[in-house]
Amino acid sequence: MDAPTPTLRALLERRDLHLSLASLPDERDEVALDTPVRWVHSSDLADPTPFLTEGLVLLTTGTQFLDATGDEPFDAYVERLRARGVLALGFGTEVVRDGIPRALADACSRQHMLLFQVPYRTPFIAVARANADAVAAQSYARRSWSLAAQRALSLAALRPDGLGATLAELARQLGTWVGLFDAAGSLTREHPAGELAADVLTRLGSDVGAVLRRGARAGSSIRIDDQPFTLQTLGRGGSLRGVIAIAAGDLDQEGRGVVTAAVAMAGLALEQRQGWDRARALLRTGVWDSLLTGDPALARRISRDLWGGLPAEPLLIAVTDADSARSHTTSEWLELRSEGRRLFYARGEAGLVIVANAQDAGILDEFARATGTRVGVSDPTGYAGLAAAHARAQQARDYSSAPEVDPAPTAERSGSVTHFSTLAAGDLVAVLAGGPGRAIAEATLTPLVTHDRTHGTALVETLRAWLDADASHESAARALGVHRHTVRSRVAHAERILGHELASFPARARLWAALRATATS
């Protein structure tokens, strides 16, 4: 149990000292009564302030006031003490004077300086000793608490979930909220859960993000409204693994020691977890490779023993563009969100793969928003069709990632999620243009585009109108506002440049697809 805080109220409650306040305290005086007293000093100097520090209680017998007349010397004396940060003044009676001078009591009342009487039978040294004992007792109690707290943190770090147990123990020891933000600035753990308001968490997350962007290992203090927070980074400078946020401000030396121990334990747990995560990631990749073979028996056994089993059919296969640099962040996000549901993920050759039950499709949208990644999703499938569904999910992901390609008009997107089924319902040529098809289309049209640019011709425009008119020279001529012989001449010229005739349907279809894919005018 913590020792009582050494305050003036505690001294006044000591019956053996026989101290008493000279007047009833008001609201401002109540604050001073409960402010920790750093030391008790005695002096009869007219100006003892050069020898004092703030947070002291001063004792005097009043010899400095023997020749004082009027209120001015007393007001000036109390004003000097107040400016120096003295908490209270104790007057020893029956040594020089029978009681407390009325002018001193009035000056203390006007300037809200607590004044108490020390009777003749109570030596000043007894008052100073009582406060010193209280300071020593509290210091011993705080050191004992700090040692016990650090021991509890060490034991918590040895539990199966060492990181979570350490943070929970830190919150319990400090009696306040503690949260862990990952390297991406997302809150992954908090103890006690739900204690902070949503707007406070949002602003706290913004400050944590700024700390992570700086990339330097450091501790810092911030204030959100009236709530102070302490931020401690985890990991090495330039490679931060996260931030521990504590809803507390100025901690004493013992409190800082406990936080330092918790940060060290959490950092160690993260490093150990990093190695464990690498091993788990390799195992997950092996399970995924087994699933792709079409014989999921081995994968089912491993998943049942390690993760509680694979998702039930029907399945959605998702492929993301999450790179390896942030793989620990995305994996941790998925690990935390998979609690209470069967969700499998692994890193394959095409990127991070997520296998979920079709009823859990919402987690794919949530993942895309939380991690800022593009996600391609297959049609619902079973384990027998896993390989084909994986290929379709990859196509959907690659389509959404292709530069300068507008989505199919009917494509249904939620954040950065693209479903293969909606691509199939859209423009097939536009979809094919999403990958290497665009490069092939541009290469096909390059000779014509170059000729138009060099000679000021309109071969590309004419071919587009001619193909849109089902190879009708007259219809294309009306659309272009030229003579039909002009259209016929331009088509023949284009055939010579391309090196093949456009009389057959396959040749015309190839050119039409190239024009559609590039949308070149």
Beta bridge partners of 220: 231
pLDDT digit string, tens, across residues 92-113: 999 888 889 999 999 999 988 9
**Residue pair 217/205 in contact by the 8 Å Cβ criterion:** no
pLDDT computed for residue 275 by the predictor: 66
175-188 pLDDT, tens digit per residue, is 999 999 887 788 88
| Maximum average pLDDT range among 35-44, 163-172, 238-247, 512-521 | 35-44
Segment of 96-105, 216-225, 424-433 carrying the highest mean pLDDT = 96-105
**How does pLDDT run across 117-168, given as a tens digit for each residue?**
999 999 999 999 999 999 999 888 889 888 998 998 888 888 877 888 888 9
Q: Is the pLDDT of residue 409 over 50?
A: no
Residue 326 pLDDT greater than 60, yes or no: no
pLDDT at position 520 over 50: no
Average of per-residue pLDDT across 244-269: 84
Looking at residue 20, its pLDDT comes to: 92
Give buried/exposed letters for 5-14 (b at 16+ CB in 10 A, else e).
ebbbbbbbee
Give residue 427's pLDDT: 52
The arithmetic mean of pLDDT across residues 465-476, rounded, is 88
**Paired residues of 228 in beta bridges:** 223
pLDDT tier for residue 28 given thresholds of 50, 70 and 90: confident
Across the beta sheet with 88-92, the strand order is 20-21, 114-118, 88-92, 56-60, 39-42
Tell me the mean pLDDT in the region 386-406: 71
pTM above 0.75, yes or no: no
Is residue 443's pLDDT more than 70?
A: yes
Q: Which residue has the higher pLDDT, 467 or 217?
A: 467
In the chain, the percentage of residues whose pLDDT exceeds 70 is: 87
Query: HEC states along 327-346?
Result: HHHHHHHHHHHCCCCCEEEE
Distance, CA of 435 to CA of 394 (rounded, Å): 11
Phi/psi of residue 189, nearest 5 degrees: -145, 150
- According to the model, what pLDDT value does residue 329 have? 60
Separation of alpha carbons 455 and 469, rounded Å: 25
515: exposed, middle or buried (C-beta count within 10 Å: 0-12, 13-18, 19+)? buried
Section 260-289 average pLDDT? 77
Using one digit for the tens of pLDDT, what is the confidence trace for 230-245?
Answer: 998 887 777 778 889 9
User: 3-class SS at 68?
Assistant: coil
Question: β-strand 88-92 against 351-357: which pairing, if any?
Answer: unpaired
**pLDDT for residue 39 is more than 90:** yes
Q: Once rounded to an integer, what is the mean pLDDT over residues 477-484? A: 88
Query: Is pLDDT of 355 > 60?
Result: yes
pLDDT reported for residue 360: 83
The per-residue pLDDT for 415 is: 44
Which three-class secondary structure state does DSSP give residue 90? strand
The pLDDT mean for the chain works out to: 83
Give the pLDDT band (50/70/90) at residue 323: low
* Direct distance between the N- and C-terminal alpha carbons of the chain, in angstroms, rounded to an integer: 82
pLDDT at residue 87, rounded to an integer: 92
**pLDDT at residue number 80:** 95
Q: In what order do the strands lie in the sheet with 239-246?
A: 187-191, 178-182, 239-246, 227-236, 219-224
